[in-house]
């Protein structure tokens, strides 16, 4: 079974530039999550999708971050403009459904962003 795919694996940009991350969840998984993990911290949820609708984006800095999941499959997370404090690992995860009795969450390998 193919896992959660993320790209790119690494990205270095200058502050005030824009960047986009891509995630392809496991086939058939309705729920998709984006997490931000700053060095020394645990992953923090940025946004949760159910199919192509947003379930929770309460911790997404909407002045600079945006995310979409067109057609309820792949998802893109964008930062515009980037700040130094956005340097982090961005993790994408997916699950069959929001109900955990239908299965656990699976995580991608992450994208490591460095803003200089």
**Interface with other proteins (CB under 8 A):** 6, 33, 35, 40-45, 48, 50, 55-56, 89, 91, 93, 98-101, 104-110, 112
- Nearer to other proteins by Cβ, of 16 and 97: the residue is 97
Least distance from C-beta 13 to other proteins, angstroms?
16
Least distance from C-beta 4 to other proteins, angstroms?
9
- How far apart, in whole angstroms, are the C-alpha atoms of residue 9 and residue 18? 16
- Nearer to other proteins by Cβ, of 66 and 107: the residue is 107
Least distance from C-beta 89 to other proteins, angstroms?
6
In whole angstroms, how far apart are CA 50 and each of 31, 44, 45, 98? Answer: 5, 18, 14, 8
- How far apart, in whole angstroms, are the C-alpha atoms of residue 82 and residue 96? 32
- Nearer to other proteins by Cβ, of 79 and 92: the residue is 92
Burial class from Cβ neighbours inside 10 Å (0-12, 13-18, 19+) for residue 58 reads exposed
- Nearer to other proteins by Cβ, of 56 and 85: the residue is 56
Least distance from C-beta 70 to other proteins, angstroms?
21
């Amino acid at each position: 079974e193919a896992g959660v795919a993320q790209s790119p694996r690494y990205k270095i940009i200058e502050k005030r530039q824009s960047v986009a991350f891509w995630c392809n969840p496991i086939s058939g998984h309705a729920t998709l999550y984006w997490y931000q993990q700053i060095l020394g911290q645990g992953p923090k949820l940025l946004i949760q999708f159910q199919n192509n609708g947003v379930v929770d984006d309460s911790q997404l800095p909407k002045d600079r971050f945006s995310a979409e999941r067109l057609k309820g499959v792949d998802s893109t997370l964008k930062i515009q403009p980037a700040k130094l404090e956005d340097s982090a690992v961005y993790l994408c995860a997916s699950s069959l459904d929001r109900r955990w009795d239908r299965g656990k969450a699976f995580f991608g390998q992450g994208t490591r962003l460095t803003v200089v």
